[in-house]
Amino acid sequence: MLRIDLASNVAVYEQIANGLRAELVAGHFGPGDKLPTVRALAIDLGVHHNTVAQAYRQLADEGWLELKRHRGATVRERHHAPNRSEGPERFTRPLRELLAKALAEGLPRKRLIRELMDSVHRLKEGGL
């Protein structure tokens, strides 16, 4: 299930890309599987089709999808991520910032640790 919030500060196309990436990382789609067409997903989410197209292009750039005109988006076999100049700091820094924001907004520390451990546990089992 893909879920976005039109009132979020995060751009809609990024929310779509993040949601789809989570599904792909979790293994819900295998190589060769087709994703919904841009138009169909745009109708379901109530957003412009360009927004969905942008999300699909981002995932294609990351090596997740193969886009063919009039054929839709197909999941690619992805052995490793494309080379990037930034290291893991690209993810650890936003993660630390997100944790700080959660604490600042009053989320109990124990609850936060529990959620993190739950995610770690699921990662170890190959899911998300």
Partner 1 sequence: MSPTLVVRVILLALGTLSAIAHWFLPRLTRPDLYFAVTVAPEFRDSSEGRFILRRYRRGLIGVSALTLTLLGALVVTPAFPLAPLALLLQLGAYFAVYYRARRLVLPHALAPTTIREARVGTRNRKIPGGWVTASGPFALLVACASYLGTHWQQIPARLVLHWGAHGQPDRWAARSLGTVFLPVLVAAVILLPLTLILYGMAHWLRPIYAGGPQGERESRFRRTASTVLLVMEYWIAVLFSGLAIRPLLPASLQRPPAAIFMVAGLIAIAGTAVLMRLGQGGNRVPSPQRPDSDSTRPVGDRTEDRFWKLGVFYFNRNDPSVMVERRFGIGYTVNFAHPIAWIIILLPVLALIAVTTTITVRHTMR
Neighbours of 59 (CB within 10 A): 22
Q: Give phi and psi for 4, each to the nearest 5.
A: -130, 160
Nearest to 19 by CA among 67, 55, 47: 55
**Please, which residue, 29 or 99, has the CB nearer to partner 1?**
29
Whether the CB-CB separation of 44 and 36 falls below 8 Å is answered with yes
Q: Smallest gap, in angstroms, from Cβ of residue 83 to partner 1?
A: 28
Whether the CB-CB separation of 45 and 2 falls below 8 Å is answered with yes
Q: Count residues contacting partner 1 (CB under 8 A)?
A: 26
**Please, which residue, 5 or 86, has the CB nearer to partner 1?**
5
Q: Considering the rule CB under 8 A, would residue 17 count as an interface residue with partner 1?
A: no
Q: Considering the rule CB under 8 A, would residue 42 count as an interface residue with partner 1?
A: yes
Interface residue with partner 1 among 48, 109, 114, 121 (CB under 8 A) is 48
Site for partner 1 in 66-125 (CB under 8 A): none
